[in-house]
């Protein structure tokens, strides 16, 4: 059975893609050892300064397979609100005192939030999102 498609690899793009598929076939990743081999192939491709279209298509496909396996087997827990606030403060090089002065949020509230003892309110999330220039969803993970 032949399936007709508008998407076709041609010329050099086809050659480079098929060469890579022969070296490391694009199949579902089923073990951590297979994942390591896939990551080595990704590293090799990413080290190249200029990928042709076939190599880029292969890289995209292999990246999707790696992400799918990692999502199912090595999921990363979302950061807590306190961890996210701490990260934003470190990235902007802001102290608790500076954050208090520039947002009007009480020093004790900032301290309690960073310690995980006080929940973020919608009002505080809006102030922090505006201050750090991020979407409110970044700080509203646990609402």
Same domain, 68 and 16: yes
> What is the mean pLDDT of each successive set of 10 residues along the chain, which is 143 residues long?
66 84 94 96 92 91 94 83 92 95 95 92 93 88 60
Same domain assignment for residues 63 and 93: no
Q: What is the number of other CB atoms lying within 10 angstroms of the CB of residue 13?
A: 17
In a domain, 37, yes or no: yes
Task: Write down the pLDDT at residue 11.
Answer: 75
What integer pLDDT is reported at residue 10 of this predicted model?
Answer: 72
Residue 132 maps to a domain: yes
Domain that holds residue 31: 11-73
Q: What pLDDT was estimated at residue 38?
A: 95
In a domain, 23, yes or no: yes
| CA dihedral sign of residues 58, 64, 67, 69 | negative
Residue 6 has a pLDDT of 63
Burial class of 29 by CB neighbour count within 10 A (0 to 12, 13 to 18, 19+): buried
Residue whose tokens read 């750090």: 132
**pLDDT value, residue 139:** 83
């Amino acid at each position: 059975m032949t399936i007709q498609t508008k998407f076709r690899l041609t010329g050099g793009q086809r050659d480079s893609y098929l060469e890579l598929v022969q070296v490391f076939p694009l199949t579902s990743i089923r073990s951590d050892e297979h994942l390591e081999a896939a990551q080595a192939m990704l590293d090799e491709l990413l080290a190249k300064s200029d990928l042709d279209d076939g190599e880029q298509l292969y890289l995209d496909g292999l990246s999707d397979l790696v992400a799918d396996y990692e999502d199912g087997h090595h999921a990363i827990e979302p950061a807590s609100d306190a961890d996210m606030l701490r990260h934003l403060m470190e990235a902007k090089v802001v102290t608790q005192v500076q954050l208090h002065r520039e947002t009007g949020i009480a020093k004790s509230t900032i301290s309690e939030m960073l310690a995980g003892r006080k929940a973020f309110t919608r009002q505080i999330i809006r102030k922090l999102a505006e201050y750090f220039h991020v979407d409110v969803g970044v700080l509203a993970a646990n609402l």
